[in-house]
């Protein structure tokens, strides 16, 4: 029952006894009862004795038809009630029957009128609005401690990340200044070396700040969501209007349920970048001469454990293209050179020395031998595949393991077959435990460190180690049913 502090009356008191809705052009009879003008006139017209007019409430009979004039005061009260915040007249009525909403169906979690009882809700558990109002408000109240705990945890993480960002900014400032002082004693050769070292420092700072900023953005996003959910929860708990509360209940409970899906960021141990090595190298620059350049050219990168897949995409993301000249004749390459599809018949490819003639495989036209490179592969349309890298020198002709991706010393790969996952190198397989059935896998090639890392659902599945300073290419095998396909993702 909605109550207006502006008018001092309940919404039910402003309802016509005939149509059970808020008055429309209300009139008052001599007996004191009020009705919609249209409702009372229709009531009189339906009487068998057309000359008799009575009151639908008290049944008082009026010998002469009363003169129906608009009750101005009552009409103003109705208008004020319509303007009361939170009271929406249209939403208080059943959309199907147009009757007042008085009940709640627990099976469908929906509001209903009494006429709905004989329809689709006839065998459902139905309770009065007041009862379910108290029950659901109790559900929201029970969620408060959980919400508060999650909010405190995220605020703590955000504070730690902010502090580490400031430490990272401060850590490089003194080193850069001292490098500049030593630079004054050196000539052009020293100038070039210092420029390289400053670039190394700034790069390391930027990479780590980029990572920390992304973590901060995630925490801020979750924290903002919690603030919004908290505000919505408080508003719902303070809402004294039953129907308004129930109409917003689903949205509030969905927001609260999403809190449980928040994943705590994997926080690395706080660390301050150390530039002492660079400073010592610069201090001994005059003695080291040409050997100094070799020393500072070796990059000092962030630990891979600090980088998630989102950061890898931003820093090292690649979108490899498939090489049609290497594709087996029953592997069709899409026009954008990203998708490899298994076909039943041979595709009209020209003869080429790089083409696989037995294994259903294709290589990328991209070739890597330095730096870091990250790419992802969409596998949702294939049940049996191998994805990895191989040396450009791997054999293409024949059906032996020398040509099979992962079957020789020149290739490394991740396999799915049929519903199990494994890694392969030099014809040796290692079984993997991969929860669920990921639709997308990531691969990071670190040529300097000699590592090839496979990711699935943001988890490191396996790390291959080898000499990747020689040219290697991303590779795909599609051995599933006809029509199965595997696709390099675009960033």
Question: What number is the average pLDDT over the span 206-224?
Answer: 85
Q: Is residue 351 part of a domain?
A: yes
Could you tell me the CA-to-CA distances from 247 to 50, 87, 139, 148 in Å, in that order?
Answer: 45, 11, 15, 24
Let me know if residue 256 belongs to a domain.
yes
Record the pTM. Answer: 0.46
Cα gap 19→35, rounded to integer Å? 9
Please check whether residues 386 and 284 belong to one and the same domain. Answer: no
Q: What is the pLDDT of residue 301?
A: 47
Q: What is the pLDDT of residue 451?
A: 94
Residue 218 has pLDDT above 80, yes or no: yes
How far is residue 425's CA from residue 389's CA, in Å, rounded to a whole number?
10
The pLDDT value given to residue 382: 95
Which are the contacts of 1, defined by CB distance < 8 A and separation ≥ 6?
Answer: 10, 11, 12, 242
The two most distant CA atoms of the chain are separated, in Å, by: 123
112 located within any domain: no
pLDDT at residue 70 above 60?
Answer: yes
How high is the pLDDT of residue 262? 60
Which of the pair, 98 or 326, is modelled with greater confidence?
A: 326
Look at 356 and 20; give whichever has higher pLDDT.
356
CATH of the domain at 77: 3.30.40.10
pLDDT band at 11 (very low <50, low <70, confident <90, very high): low
| Per-residue pLDDT, 300 | 45
Average pLDDT over residues 414-422: 93
Q: How far apart are CA 440 and CA 437, in angstroms?
A: 9
Give kind and range of the element (H or E) at residue 78. helix 72-83
Chain centroid offset of residue 407 CA: 38
| 418: preceding bond cis by omega (within 30 degrees) | yes
What percent of the chain lies above the pLDDT cut of 90? 34
Do 293 and 317 share a domain, yes or no?
Answer: no
pLDDT over 90 at 398, yes or no: no
Domain boundary among 297, 319, 343: 297
Average pLDDT, rounded, for the chain:
83
pLDDT, position 486 = 97
Grade residue 296 by pLDDT with cuts at 50, 70 and 90.
Answer: low
Q: How many domains does the chain have?
A: 3
Confidence category of residue 289, pLDDT binned at 50, 70, 90 = low
The H or E element that residue 134 is part of is helix 129-183
Could you tell me the pLDDT band of residue 5, with boundaries at 50, 70 and 90? very low
* Structure confidence by residue, pLDDT tens digits, 259-286: 766 655 555 556 667 777 767 766 666 5
Whole-number pLDDT of residue 48:
63
Find the CATH number of the domain harbouring 424. 2.60.120.920
The pLDDT-based confidence of 357 (bands split at 50, 70, 90) is: very high
Sheet holding 339-342, edge to edge: 331-333, 339-342, 485-488, 372-378, 440-446, 451-456, 459-465
User: Which structural domain, as residue segments, surrounds residue 225?
Assistant: 158-297
Q: Tell me, what's the pLDDT at 66?
A: 86
461 and 346 inside one domain? yes
Q: Is residue 59 part of a domain?
A: yes
pLDDT of residue 372: 93
Q: Is the pLDDT of residue 429 over 90?
A: yes
Within 8 A by CB and 6+ apart from 258, the residues are 225, 229
428 confidence band (pLDDT: 50, 70, 90): very high
Among 149, 146, 125, CA closest to 135: 125
Whether the Cβ atoms of residue 352 and residue 491 lie closer than 8 Å to each other: no
Instruction: Choose the final residue of a domain: 87, 113, 140.
Output: 87
Banded model confidence at residue 49, pLDDT cuts 50, 70, 90 = low
User: Does one domain contain both 393 and 322?
Assistant: yes
pLDDT for 434 equals 92
Position 188 confidence tier, pLDDT thresholds 50, 70, 90: low
* Mean pLDDT value of segment 42-50: 75
Burial tier of 142 (Cβ tally within 10 Å: 0-12, 13-18, 19+):
exposed
């Amino acid at each position: 029952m909605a109550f207006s502090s502006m008018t001092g009356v309940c919404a039910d008191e402003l309802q016509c006894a005939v149509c059970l809705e808020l008055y429309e052009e209300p009139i008052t009879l001599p007996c004191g009862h009020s009705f919609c003008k249209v409702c009372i006139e229709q009531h009189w017209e339906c009487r068998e004795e057309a000359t008799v007019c009575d009151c639908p409430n008290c049944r008082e009979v009026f010998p002469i038809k009363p003169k129906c004039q608009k009750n101005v005061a009552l009409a103003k009260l109705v208008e004020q009630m319509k303007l009361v915040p939170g009271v929406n007249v249209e939403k208080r009525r059943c959309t199907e029957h147009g009757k007042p909403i008085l009940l709640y169906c627990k099976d469908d979690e929906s509001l209903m009128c009494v006429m709905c009882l004989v329809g689709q809700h006839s065998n459902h558990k139905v309770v009065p609005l007041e009862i379910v109002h108290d029950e659901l408000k109790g559900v929201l109240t029970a969620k408060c401690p959980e919400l508060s705990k999650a909010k405190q945890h995220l605020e703590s993480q955000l504070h730690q990340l902010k502090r580490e960002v400031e430490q990272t900014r401060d850590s490089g400032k003194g080193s850069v200044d001292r490098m500049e002082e030593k630079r004054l004693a050196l000539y052009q050769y020293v100038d070039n070396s210092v420029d390289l070292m400053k670039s190394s420092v700034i790069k390391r700072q930027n990479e780590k700040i980029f990572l920390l900023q992304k973590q901060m953005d995630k925490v801020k996003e979750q924290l903002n969501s919690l603030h919004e959910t908290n505000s919505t929860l408080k508003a719902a708990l303070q809402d004294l209007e039953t129907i308004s509360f129930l109409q917003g209940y689903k949205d509030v409970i969905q927001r609260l349920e999403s809190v449980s899906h928040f994943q705590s960021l994997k926080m690395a141990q706080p660390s301050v970048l150390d530039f002492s090595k660079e400073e010592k190298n610069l201090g001994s620059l005059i003695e080291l001469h040409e050997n100094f350049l070799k020393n500072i050219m070796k990059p000092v990168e962030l630990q891979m454990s600090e980088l998630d897949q989102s950061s890898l995409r931003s820093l090292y993301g690649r979108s490899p293209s498939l090489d049609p000249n290497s594709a087996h004749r029953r592997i069709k390459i899409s026009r954008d050179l990203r998708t490899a599809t298994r076909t039943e018949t041979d595709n009209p490819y020209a003869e080429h020395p790089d083409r696989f003639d037995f294994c259903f495989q294709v290589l990328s036209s991209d070739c890597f031998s330095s730096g870091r490179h990250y790419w992802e592969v969409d596998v949702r349309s294939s049940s049996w595949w191998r994805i990895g890298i191989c040396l450009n020198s791997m054999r293409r002709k024949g059906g032996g393991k020398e040509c099979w991706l992962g079957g020789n010393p020149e290739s490394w790969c991740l396999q799915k077959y049929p519903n199990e996952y494994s890694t392969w190198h030099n014809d040796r397989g290692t079984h993997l435990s991969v929860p669920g059935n990921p639709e997308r896998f990531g691969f990071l090639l670190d040529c300097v460190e000699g590592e090839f890392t496979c990711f699935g659902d943001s988890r490191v599945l396996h790390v291959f180690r080898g000499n990747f300073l020689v040219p290697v290419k991303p590779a795909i095998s599609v051995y599933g049913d006809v029509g199965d396909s595997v696709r390099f993702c675009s960033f």
